[in-house]
Structure 1
Amino acid sequence: MQEEKTNLKKEILSYLKIIVITAIVVLGCKQFLFAPIKVQGASMYPTYHDKDIIIVSKTSKIERFDQIVFQSPTEDELYIKRVIGLPGDTVEMKDDVLYVNGKAYKEDYVNRQTDDPNQLRITENFSLEQLVNEKKVPEGMYFVLGDNRLKSYDSRHYGLISKDAIYGEAKVTLYPFNQFHIGSKK
């Protein structure tokens, strides 16, 4: 009888160790490697929809056109936007064409649908200097825009994003299941 109790205690301790180690690994991964995020709003439509659930990598090197999640500079929320300008870049928009360092980019990811037949442009003309009083994106900062330009609150409104505010890069779309996708949507 005593031997059975001892074996039962050992088995329970063994299971507890597994549970504790698993919890530490999961919490560690969530804290330092990746985390699930729920998309809020329509600013990244059509790339992401309201209430999509994505996995964010906290260890990725940020590159142009990556979709990043960051702490909003104006409220206590996480935002998701597309990186347009990296440190050292010039950024401007002319006649709905994006120019980074003088090179024109076709933005296939931008929502160009509008309810207003008189809407001439999806993205208003601007230069980085007009918006943030800088000729180039400073070191440690990023210029971001939403894909749904007519409904996006982004660097055109609140300025540049600090590298320290970045939570991570969108890597996996988990939900809805019919939109499951591994790798960021370019």
Structure 2
Amino acid sequence: MDKVKKRNEWWEWTKALFIAVLIAAAVRYFLFTPIVVDGLSMMPTLQDGDRMIVNKFNYKVSTPERFDVIVFHAPEKRDYIKRVIGLPGDKIVYSGDQLFINDKPVSEPYLEGFKEQLAGGILTNDFTLEQITGDERVPEGQLFVMGDNRRYSKDSRHIGTIDIEEIVGDTNLVFWPLQETRLINEQNQ
């Protein structure tokens, strides 16, 4: 009787472990996944090596909003982390280090500290969406994205607009390094 009880206990533990692995895999594949920031394109908001949680589910029930920080599959077969600047139908112009969307100036509070460090230097060079992509407005199903470190970011100014279908998810929680744990969208708006 003792052998049967041990075998049943072993089988119960095996089933529990298998179910736990399945749940963890489902959560990672469908809901949340970790990502490591690679590079300087989102400084000062994100630092090289920051570890973040990507919410894969959010855009299955909603659409991206302006200034969301998203992760998407870039043409180079890599995932990029950038900030949404232009939504479908938007006209994008940068002039005098000021963002204009649909001919109206738009504040970018997440850049204010960075601009102050430049002591009057230009963070974002002048451009229009039409100069970059040939389109006057962001096409349907597309987004215009930029890194916060405008001088050193490979973004829509270089790769063009991105297809909304290429979005992995949005991210705003830095969980590592532990002393730097924070919600980025709340500290920058």
Question: Considering the TM-score relative to the shorter chain, is it more than 0.5?
Answer: yes
Matched, 1:40 2:38: yes
How far residue 184 of structure 1 moved from its aligned partner, in angstroms, is 3.7
Distance 1:18 1:184 in 2: 38
Percent identity between matched residues is 40
Equivalenced residues, count? 180
Among candidates 66, 71, 74, match of residue 72 of structure 1: 74
How far residue 179 of structure 1 moved from its aligned partner, in angstroms, is 1.6
Bigger fraction of residues in helix: 2
Over residues 98-148 of structure 1, what are the superposed CA-to-partner deviations in whole Å (9 max), with x where a residue is unaligned? 01122212222223344xx8x842111111111111111111100000000
Structure 2: which amino acid aligns with 1:126?
F
Distance 1:57 1:12 in 2: 36
User: Partner residue of 2:133?
Assistant: 132
How far residue 171 of structure 1 moved from its aligned partner, in angstroms, is 3.0
Distance 2:108 2:147 in 1: 11
Among candidates 58, 62, 65, match of residue 63 of structure 1: 65
SS at match of 1:109: helix
Distance 2:95 2:181 in 1: 35
Structure 1: which amino acid aligns with 2:107?
K
Distance 1:54 1:155 in 2: 22
How far residue 182 of structure 1 moved from its aligned partner, in angstroms, is 4.0
**Closer, same or farther: CA 145–16 of 1 in aligned 2, 3 Å:** same
SS at match of 2:173: strand
Matched, 1:16 2:14: yes
| TM-score, scaled to structure 1 | 0.91
SS at match of 2:71: strand
Structure 2: which amino acid aligns with 1:20?
F
Query: Which stretches in structure 1 are left out of the alignment for 5+ residues?
Result: none
Structure 2: which amino acid aligns with 1:172?
L
Distance 1:34 1:54 in 2: 10
Q: CA RMSD in A?
A: 1.6
